[in-house]
Structure 1
């Protein structure tokens, strides 16, 4: 069981969506993740939203002209995503078992995004498997973009994945670090408690 499932019990979709809607009404920019992805790959690129949740990031990227696919394990989150954008392809699957071919989709994504602490909330010990499966979904030269907390101030559970460990998992999957930011607004990483990492498949 993932740490996300332990936290939520798999019934958090409507509550999660409502929280972000409230943040949006307060004037907070809710599209930093999509904006960063849009700066990394051109319009029309294929994007896989890994751990897509309620679809906030993927729906925005689709509006911007990207060819998107999303998957999540949490059925309650996917219910919200499908209600908001029934025309988009949403899949329910565990990240540790993700296989594009089994879902009937091409494994040639230009970019895979894992936002919302997806990697930090996996079941401990499964991170390398998930990184390997996400890398396998990329075309040569494709990008894996992941943001997650590194300390108690940025996570709802105790930290379990360090940047050093994550980089090692990426290297084992054939991914090379090309950039790292402190926020989705692309602020320079300063060693703080949150990081957005960009890795490329191949050197």
Structure 2
């Protein structure tokens, strides 16, 4: 199956520096675990968690420290290299979301797709990606997603909340919760954090 290039790929050099930025924050001892804290609260100890678009590895590494079995996947070669430098014990698969086969990687109690991954997908692939993420859920599993609703990031798209909800429904998912931050603030028009589950 041929898929269009992701918006992240099309942005090219415009997105370089993302991994280095977070690596510097980690080295300074900054708190970069906000998403991981919420993910950890959504599952029991020792859960199987998939981090899609794991970037430089900060969320996957944090969840591993919290005692979970984590599979990280990041197609960007430079981000995988940065991940290897910052978290050398973290294995990162090179797969894009649509290349993840439940028969190969298994199913998960939680699929994490944060850090604006959804607004960097290839044009028109959002519903297909959401359907694939649904296939990767174990019984009772959930998806944690988070992204800017407007195109404030280089090369990203605007993804209005109502469009995302419609795409979720078309992919066989339902919205359990929507928040305005990973600290569970009220929903707003800038950023959305979603907890999703299979509609059936």
**Shift of residue 100 of structure 1?**
3.1
Secondary structure, in 3 states, of the residue corresponding to 1:59? helix
Q: Which runs of 5+ in 1 are unaligned?
A: none
Counterparts in 2 of 1:94 and 1:121: CA distance versus 1, 3 Å: same
Counterparts in 2 of 1:29 and 1:11: CA distance versus 1, 3 Å: closer
**Shift of residue 195 of structure 1?**
0.3
Q: Structure 2: how far apart are the matches of 1:44 and 1:162?
A: 34
Q: TM-score, length-normalised on structure 1?
A: 0.86
The CA deviation string for residues 160-184 of structure 1, in whole angstroms up to 9 with x for no partner, is 3222222122222222111111111
Partners of 2:7 and 2:156 within 8 A in 1: no
- RMSD of the alignment, in Å? 2.2
The CA deviation string for residues 72-107 of structure 1, in whole angstroms up to 9 with x for no partner, is 211111122233334433211122332232xx321x
Aligned to 1:157, which of 150, 155, 158? Answer: 155
Equivalent residue runs for 1:68-147 within 5 Å: 68-101=70-103, 104-106=104-106, 108-147=107-146
Partner residue, 1:42: 44
Q: Structure 2: how far apart are the matches of 1:5 and 1:59?
A: 24
Q: TM-score, length-normalised on structure 2?
A: 0.88
Partners of 1:96 and 1:126 within 8 A in 2: no
Counterparts in 2 of 1:5 and 1:53: CA distance versus 1, 3 Å: same
Q: Structure 1: how far apart are the matches of 2:7 and 2:168?
A: 21
Counterparts in 2 of 1:27 and 1:185: CA distance versus 1, 3 Å: farther
Partner residue, 2:169: 171
**Shift of residue 10 of structure 1?**
9.7
Counterparts in 2 of 1:125 and 1:89: CA distance versus 1, 3 Å: same
Q: Structure 2: how far apart are the matches of 1:26 and 1:182?
A: 27
Q: Which runs of 5+ in 2 are unaligned?
A: none
**Shift of residue 186 of structure 1?**
1.5
Q: Structure 2: how far apart are the matches of 1:54 and 1:33?
A: 14
Partners of 1:140 and 1:202 within 8 A in 2: no
Partner residue, 1:181: 179
**Shift of residue 55 of structure 1?**
0.7
Partner residue, 2:198: 201
Q: Structure 1: how far apart are the matches of 2:70 and 2:50?
A: 6
